[in-house]
């Protein structure tokens, strides 16, 4: 049977011969999809979808003629037919995403082998060693013999794909990177991936479960079909049976509601995030460590591998309260308990499995004295376990020991449940584990006994690795709050206490810093135990108090980071430090704290101001001592003496700074945002080095290009200078979680590429970021781009009305996708209050994708106008040589390939009010003109005939979706038009004239939003 959505000629164009497996699998799924629709909706629906799809051009772009025909066809549909059509296309896109993910899982490594890499000469000429190289870091060897040895080694080595450990370490060997330098980097390697609290993921948890079931059945089908092909069809009936199971699963999926029935609570979001740990990451992370250790030893067998938790996870889910009133101190407490519940449940199951596995008898194996001694202690503390199992396990010491371990874990779990419910734990004297370290110590003792007697246990090794990585906390919780909330809280507190002669908020920045610095020198309490303040102020105070409680109960590692969004001044940081002091998270007498204050610089102005803010902070003796680990530690460092004090609770001399991609992009456009963030990283790193402080940049990236998204490997390699230096922290949001963490091999590959890029970017650098004339050109381009972008967004008088009418922004705000409101709490419907997620989401739905490219074309054209030929050559040279410039152009190219200006024009024509059509047409013409200019110039710079010619895999993926999104867009416009007409009519007359209810029309519109998001693989 031919593909319903793609003719044979189209398919031949999309898939090269090397992707025949993908083509075959798509045909299988499309046949199943068509069968489900025929069974559920009838042949007429299948015919309708064919008719709608045939209206699209082979290139997957809408045309005026097609729009006219589609509109006539869709307007004839009743609401049920329109909803079914929308659901059918949405289901198709979800299935396509599954197939592509499974294919990527199979082909991820193989497809990199075919990529052309630069020659050795090019690499050597473009690479400098990191500036932290010491004189004693001698190369591996010197002279002709070494060159011959390296050449022979590389010729024998199997060609490995880029972005993997197997490619990285031989590459470093070939470049003669000093092993001591590699070892130092590995020793403090720190990759942190943070799941965020404002997900743009709109797919229900229930649907995710069904998708995973489809994946498992497809993998089973692959195995059976391969066997059948090799044995003459002996497994054909089993393959047919699996196809039938797939058909049943997809039918169940079709009858499952795609939309959330209620707005998710914060704890629902916690559950969504933990889903990826439960299904993939908990078992996958130990494999990442083994992969690193194995590949490192193949090339540098004398080097020590990193700590097992070199790649760790953080979370904002349940702790990010910026603009989300639903995140309360109690919710944060419950989140920590919820995470511990999940990880304890996994450990309990693992220990039960070990009890079955470790059946070693003392008749046939020796046991070390420390294990026997621990059993005697356990007997005295857990006599009920001894009474129940001592006879059964009298000659099986490992089973008996693990039974005691299991009981302690169960006691810990029961206590955690009581704490979650804020109840007094029963049997408080029962033996349990206060921390993951206590549990880990017992597991290591068992492992040591096995090793000393010549045994090993892989399951035990995996469990130890999991405990080292996740402990009892699973992830580290980051607190985030907006800067003005702290200032307002202090203002109210100080007015209540009548400490200052004028309100705190009326002080100048210099006055604030002077007062805060003085107040931070004293241990005198400022805030009373009983809180007589407003609800908002009390919430701020209680947040710091709950952090203190969390650290006392769960250990310091559960929550050490407090992020200040919209951070602009030194006082913003000191305010948080003062509030932390009041919660006993900071002791001013010795300058030791258990929480790190992290400024988040978001707008362009704040990014530019970040240099002076951090410099002034580092100049403050109190703050500098806090970073060092206290006054005693700071004094010892000044005199080069060893401090006799205990190790500081925070990593010494480490400052984390977060940079926001979303608001800077919304504020100044794509090119300007990327350049300002690039510059900020360079300057912040230079400032930190000047004060002998280690810097960790926290990248607040979203899923879409308009919010800093895109391929992480290339983005990390494009970072400037030494801004990484073995440390990076990145947010993982929305559709990124589903696309990169739903399948084990994809998750492993994603984490491996990030780690590889961090190592490569830290050890090797191109030096192009330091070429001042290039920086001056980029400064000029960024300024021009920003000016053109702001002229449209903030100066075009009709733009705000245009945005609200021609995009589904109001309908998106009614999607139950997040516990956080779409707007900041100003109450205004202006662009400044609108969050970046729905801003980007709206432009993606309408196929404009404006935030990801607008202003780039004008900036480039104005630069080329001065010297057309010479400047074009220079831009092409930048694209080839400068990782930052290539990253920016590549991201823009990817987004431009998803733009459909004809479809965008259809939204403008159909959704504009009659009286606004003329003025909106001018806005559209301005946007379209910039699009075509940007597209043409990007093609010139990349020297591509079509967008994405340099990435055929991504090009195929975009082409695969573009065409089918077109009819879904037509359906969306039709439903939005009916919905708005119905609402306007009802609002003016009070009489319902539509034959469909508002609820039905809204539901249909939201389903199309769901479907287009799945097709674009982008929400916000």
**Cβ count within 10 A of residue 303:** 16
* Encoded tokens for 585: 């998270």
d(CA 921, CA 449): 78
d(CA 610, CA 679): 11
* Encoded tokens for 111: 């497809």
Out of 401, 407, 512, 666, pick the active-site residue: 666
| Closest alpha carbon to 967 in 7, 25, 208, 77 | 77
Q: Which residue is associated with the tokens 């460092």?
A: 637
CA atoms lying within 13 Å on the CB side of residue 128: 12
| Closest alpha carbon to 610 in 687, 667, 669 | 687
Q: Give phi and psi for 391, each to the nearest 5.
A: -70, -45
d(CA 468, CA 1): 53
- C-alpha angle with apex 339: 334 to 345, nearest 5 degrees? 120
Out of 160, 198, 678, 729, pick the active-site residue: 198
| Closest alpha carbon to 550 in 516, 595, 582 | 595
Which residues, listed in sequence order, are joined to residue 694 by a DSSP beta bridge?
Answer: 654
Q: Residue 273 contacts by C-beta under 8 Å, 6 or more apart in sequence?
A: 195, 199, 315, 317, 737
- C-alpha angle with apex 614: 612 to 616, nearest 5 degrees? 65
Which residues, listed in sequence order, are joined to residue 313 by a DSSP beta bridge?
Answer: 193
d(CA 927, CA 795): 14
Q: In which region does residue 943 sit, left (phi positive, over 0), alpha (psi from -120 to 50) or beta (all else)? A: left
d(CA 378, CA 235): 53
Length reported for the chain = 1020
666 is catalytic: yes
d(CA 261, CA 281): 28
Q: What is the DSSP letter of 485?
A: H
Q: What is the DSSP letter of 279?
A: I
d(CA 32, CA 578): 62
CA atoms lying within 13 Å on the CB side of residue 401: 27
Q: Give phi and psi for 195, each to the nearest 5.
A: -80, 130
- Helices marked H in 116-255 — which ranges? 120-126, 143-156, 165-174, 179-187, 205-230, 236-254
**Cβ count within 10 A of residue 134:** 10
- Report CA Rg, the chain: 30
Cα torsion 718, 719, 724, 725 to 10°: value is 70
d(CA 574, CA 558): 23
d(CA 484, CA 322): 11
Coil, strand or helix at 283: helix
* Encoded tokens for 745: 């091999």
198 is catalytic: yes
* H or E element at residue 700: strand 694-700
**Cβ count within 10 A of residue 880:** 14
Instruction: Tell me which residues are annotated as active site.
Output: 198, 666
């Amino acid at each position: 049977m031919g593909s319903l959505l793609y003719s044979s000629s189209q398919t031949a164009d999309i898939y090269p011969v090397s992707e025949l497996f993908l083509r075959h699998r798509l045909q299988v799924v499309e046949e199943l999809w068509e069968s489900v629709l025929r069974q559920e909706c009838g042949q007429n629906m299948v015919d309708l979808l064919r008719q709608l799809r045939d209206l699209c051009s082979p290139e997957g772009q809408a045309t005026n003629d097609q729009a006219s025909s589609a509109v006539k066809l869709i307007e004839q549909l009743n609401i049920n037919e329109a909803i079914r059509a929308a659901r059918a296309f949405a289901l198709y896109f979800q299935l396509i995403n599954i197939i592509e993910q499974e294919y990527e899982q199979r082909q991820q490594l193989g497809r990199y082998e075919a990529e052309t890499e630069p020659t050795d000469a090019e690499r050597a000429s473009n690479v400098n060693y990191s500036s932290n190289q010491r004189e004693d870091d001698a190369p591996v060897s010197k002279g002709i013999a070494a060159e011959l040895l390296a050449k022979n080694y590389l010729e024998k080595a199997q060609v490995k794909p880029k972005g993997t450990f197997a490619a990285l370490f031989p590459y470093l060997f070939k470049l003669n990177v000093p092993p001591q330098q590699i070892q130092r980097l590995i020793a403090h390697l720190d990759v942190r991936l943070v799941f965020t609290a404002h997900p743009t993921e709109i797919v229900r948890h229930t649907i995710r479960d069904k998708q995973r079931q489809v994946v498992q059945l497809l993998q089973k089908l692959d195995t059976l079909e391969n066997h059948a092909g090799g044995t003459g069809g002996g497994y054909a009936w089993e393959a047919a049976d699996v196809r039938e199971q797939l058909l049943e699963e997809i039918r169940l999926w079709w009858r499952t509601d795609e939309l959330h029935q209620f707005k998710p609570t914060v704890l629902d979001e916690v559950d969504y995030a933990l889903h990826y740990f439960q299904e993939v990451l908990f078992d996958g992370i130990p494999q990442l460590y083994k992969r690193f250790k194995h590949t490192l030893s193949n090339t540098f067998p004398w080097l020590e591998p990193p700590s097992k938790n070199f790649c760790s996870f953080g979370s904002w889910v349940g702790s990010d309260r910026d603009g989300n009133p639903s995140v309360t101190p109690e919710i944060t407490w419950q989140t920590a308990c919820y995470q511990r519940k999940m990880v304890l449940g996994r450990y309990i199951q693992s220990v039960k499995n070990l009890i079955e596995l470790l059946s070693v008898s003392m008749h046939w194996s020796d046991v070390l004295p420390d294990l026997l001694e621990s059993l005697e202690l356990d007997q005295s503390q857990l006599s009920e376990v001894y009474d129940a199992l001592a006879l059964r396990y009298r000659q099986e010491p490992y089973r008996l020991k693990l039974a005691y371990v299991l009981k302690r874990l169960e006691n810990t779990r029961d206590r955690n449940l009581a704490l979650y419910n804020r109840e007094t734990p029963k049997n408080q004297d029962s033996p349990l584990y206060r921390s993951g370290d206590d549990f880990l110590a017992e597991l290591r003792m068992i492992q040591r006994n096995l090793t000393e007697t010549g045994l090993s246990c892989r399951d035990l090794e995996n469990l130890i690795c999991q405990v080292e990585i996740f402990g009892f906390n699973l992830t580290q919780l980051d607190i985030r709050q907006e800067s003005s909330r702290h200032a307002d809280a202090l203002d109210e507190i100080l007015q209540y206490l009548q400490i200052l002669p004028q309100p705190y908020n009326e002080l100048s920045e210099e006055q604030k810093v002077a007062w805060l610095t003085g107040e931070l020198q004293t241990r005198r309490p400022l805030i009373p135990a009983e809180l007589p303040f407003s609800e908002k102020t009390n919430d701020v105070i209680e947040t710091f108090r709950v952090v203190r409680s969390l650290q006392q109960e769960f250990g310091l590692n559960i929550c050490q980071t407090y992020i200040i969004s919209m951070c602009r001044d030194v006082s913003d940081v000191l305010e948080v430090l003062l509030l932390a002091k009041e919660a006993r998270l900071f002791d001013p007498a010795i300058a030791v704290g258990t929480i790190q204050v992290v400024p988040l610089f978001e707008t362009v102005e704040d990014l530019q101001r970040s240099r002076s803010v951090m410099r002034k902070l580092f100049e403050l003796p109190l703050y500098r001592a806090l970073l060092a680990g206290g006054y005693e530690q700071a004094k010892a460092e000044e005199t080069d003496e060893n401090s006799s004090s205990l190790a500081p609770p925070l990593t010494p001399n480490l400052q984390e700074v977060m940079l926001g991609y979303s608001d800077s992009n919304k504020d100044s456009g794509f090119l300007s945002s990327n350049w300002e963030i690039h510059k900020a990283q360079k300057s912040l790193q230079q400032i930190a080095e000047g004060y002998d402080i280690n810097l960790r940049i926290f990248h607040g990236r979203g899923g879409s290009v308009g919010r800093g998204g895109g391929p992480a490997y290339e983005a990390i390699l494009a970072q400037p200078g030494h801004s990484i230096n073995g440390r990076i922290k990145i947010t993982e949001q929305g559709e990124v979680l589903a696309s990169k963490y739903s399948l084990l091999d994809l998750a492993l590959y994603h984490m491996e590429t990030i780690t590889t890029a961090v190592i490569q970017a830290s050890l090797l650098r191109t030096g192009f970021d330091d070429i001042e004339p290039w920086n001056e050109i980029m400064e000029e381009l960024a300024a021009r781009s920003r000016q053109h972008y702001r002229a449209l967004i903030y100066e075009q008088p009709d733009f705000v009305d245009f945005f609200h009418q021609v995009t589904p922004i109001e309908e998106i705000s009614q999607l139950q996708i997040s516990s956080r409101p779409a707007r900041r709490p100003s109450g205004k419907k202006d662009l400044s209050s609108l969050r970046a997620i729905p801003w980007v989401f709206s432009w993606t739905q309408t196929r404009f994708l404006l935030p990801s490219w607008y202003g780039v074309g004008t900036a480039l054209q104005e630069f080329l106008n001065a010297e057309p030929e010479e400047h074009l050559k220079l831009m092409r040279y930048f694209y080839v040589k400068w990782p930052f410039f290539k990253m920016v152009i590549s991201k823009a190219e990817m987004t431009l390939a998803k733009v459909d200006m004809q479809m965008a024009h259809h939204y403008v024509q159909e959704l504009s009010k009659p009286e606004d059509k003329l003025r909106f047409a001018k806005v559209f013409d301005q946007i379209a003109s910039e699009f075509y200019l940007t597209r043409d110039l990007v093609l010139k710079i990349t020297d591509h005939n079509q967008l994405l010619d340099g990435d055929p895999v991504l090009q195929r993926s975009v082409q695969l979706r573009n065409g089918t999104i077109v009819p879904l867009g037509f359906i969306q416009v039709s439903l939005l038009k009916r919905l708005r007409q119905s609402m306007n009519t009802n609002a003016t007359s009070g009489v319902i004239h539509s034959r469909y209810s508002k609820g039905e029309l809204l539901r249909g519109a939201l389903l199309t939003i769901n479907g287009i998001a799945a097709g674009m693989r982008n929400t916000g």
